[in-house]
Structure 1
């Protein structure tokens, strides 16, 4: 698709975030299964559910704009997923508490990519006067921030990093 307007970029970025979320979902599920800490595992399961919800919303927006959500492949998330598997699910991590501590930054890196995507899309939708789209994207952004804050709390106030440092 030629990029001749902000709307063209907006549509391209909708497809990009759909691809990013599609790639992130399986590894988030894997991280959730690998997590030893119950609070961490539950947060990752909830994160996967949030990704699924976001995928459904992005797919609806793509359909409303007459584009296929799967027309783009997000290479940025491809790299983040590869890193999450290498550093959060590695067989070389033999201690469950250490694995939990390694999982958190891998998940948060993927979440931060989504935050950038949703934030940019919401700003574009607002600028384009796509109020309904902007509301959906802002909701996705807010929920993604909530998940990131929850993960930070698990890392800082919960026992994950404390247990890994022993």
Structure 2
């Protein structure tokens, strides 16, 4: 498909973001299954639910603009998901805390990729005069930032995962 204008770029990137979310949600559930810290498990489970809510938002936007959100496959997230599985789920660790620290690292890499996607799509929607779309995308972006901040707190708090992993 030729991308002739910003509207084409917008819908293409929404479809790519839907694929990224779909892949990262599956990986997030696997990370939750591998985590030992209960706060981390809870945050990952909430993250998976938040990702699903973002996917629902994209489906609504796709219906509004008449495109199939499942038409793209995000190769960027595919690589991040592979890294998350290789480095956090399937790798061997000497301690649960070290694994939990790696889980946070891998989750945040995926979240930062999503932040870029949400932000770009929001900017496109704003430029296109799609105020309702931009508000929806801003909410998804904000939720993703909140999840990322929660992971940072779990990692770096006084009694956080990183402190436990030092030993």
TM norm structure 2: 0.97
Deviation, structure 1 residue 87:
0.5
1:164 corresponds to: 165
Deviation, structure 1 residue 90:
2.0
2:116 corresponds to: 116
Structure 2, gaps ≥5 residues long = none
Correspondences of 1:76-155 after superposition (within 5 Å): 76-155=76-155
Query: In 1, distance between residues paired with 2:124 and 2:69?
Result: 17
Query: In 1, distance between residues paired with 2:26 and 2:156?
Result: 26
Query: In 2, distance between residues paired with 1:74 and 1:65?
Result: 20
Query: In 2, distance between residues paired with 1:71 and 1:111?
Result: 22
Aligned residues: 166
Deviations 1:92-120 (A, max 9, x none): 12421111011011000000000000000
SS of equivalent residue, structure 1 residue 2: coil
Runs of 4+ in structure 1 off by over 2 angstroms are none
